[in-house]
Amino acid sequence: MSLKAQVAVIGAGPSGLLLSQLLHGQGIGTIVLEKHAREYVEARIRAGLLEQATVDLLTEAGVGDRLKREGLVHRGFEMAFGDRVHRIDLEGLTGKRVTVYGQTEIQRDLGDARAAAGPPVRYEAKDVSIHDLAGRHPRVVFMQDGVRSEIECDFVAGCDGSHGISRRSVPQDAITTYERIYPCGWLGILADVEPVGEELIYASHPRGFALCSMRSRMRSRYYLQCSLQDQIEDWPDERFWDELRRRLPETHAARLITGPSIEKSIAPLRSFVAEPMHFGRLFLVSSASSMVRLALS
């Protein structure tokens, strides 16, 4: 099957769908390819803290209504050093705020917007390959439902993350990757319990760093710095809550509400930048070109 689009977008995560939505608003046609099913993509647990510029961009793209209704606006955050707590007045210092709104919700909002605008995202697109990047009309080939299709386009936007096909399609001698692996990991859990505070809490402790975040007024997201050798099985819920209490100031630990986790994972801390961020008619977007994983929320 032969298809045409001004821009072929590889990856239907938030960056791919947002780019497609913004281009649609400018009258630029796109076809978005995603290797997973929509249900899988929308179920992935990711960060949920949005800076003001991101909120403004989602609003510009026409997908900010539910965010404004349901997002939790934070005007500052707390930093704890043992039992000493300092509040940073973000709005007072910068005039800007941050908003708590889970990536799963952004994914649904963008997915609905793209489905309404059409053409629909092509989910479960397999064996994607990119060709003729140095020419005027690159091609993207993929399989879907057993049918081989080819997109002729003007540009390719690689929004498929650090391990996707887009960055791998650039010749090795034409791109340089600068990477740093940190000697610790982030152990995170999600639980349907009331957050320990109204704002985010970053806690420094001799036992390791901790972060208290949230997804809503009744869903909390907590993190602990852990060893890269740790496994999920090493951290039953009871141990996690006990360790979190140890790393928080006494006033915060006393009001911590615990409950069964509904998601638990360990993420290695890693930063990288790929240079250059485009090759011919291919542009690397978001985590396909750079990632700094230092402070999740």
Per-residue pLDDT tens digits for 249-275: 999 999 999 999 999 999 888 888 999
Domain-embedded: residue 234: yes
Name the residue with higher pLDDT: 295 or 151. Answer: 151
- Domain of 156 in residue numbering reads as 2-48+102-175+276-292
Is 231 found in the same domain as 160? no
Residue 48's pLDDT band (cuts 50, 70, 90): confident
Is 224 found in the same domain as 106? no
Residue 295's pLDDT band (cuts 50, 70, 90): very low
Count CB neighbours of 113 within 10 A.
18
- Residues 221 and 191: their CA atoms lie apart, in Å, by 7
Is 202 found in the same domain as 280? no
Is 251 found in the same domain as 140? no
Is 233 found in the same domain as 109? no
Count of structural domains, the chain? 2
Is 241 found in the same domain as 214? yes
Is 283 found in the same domain as 186? no
Q: Check which CATH number belongs to the domain holding 265 and give it.
A: 3.30.9.10
Domain-embedded: residue 129: yes
Whole-number pLDDT of residue 297:
53
Average pLDDT over residues 209-233: 95
Is 248 found in the same domain as 127? no
pLDDT in tens, 123-151: 999 999 999 998 999 999 999 999 999 99
Whole-number pLDDT of residue 187:
96
Domain-embedded: residue 62: no
Is 106 found in the same domain as 240? no
Whole-number pLDDT of residue 290:
86
239 has a pLDDT exceeding 70: yes
Count CB neighbours of 10 within 10 A.
29
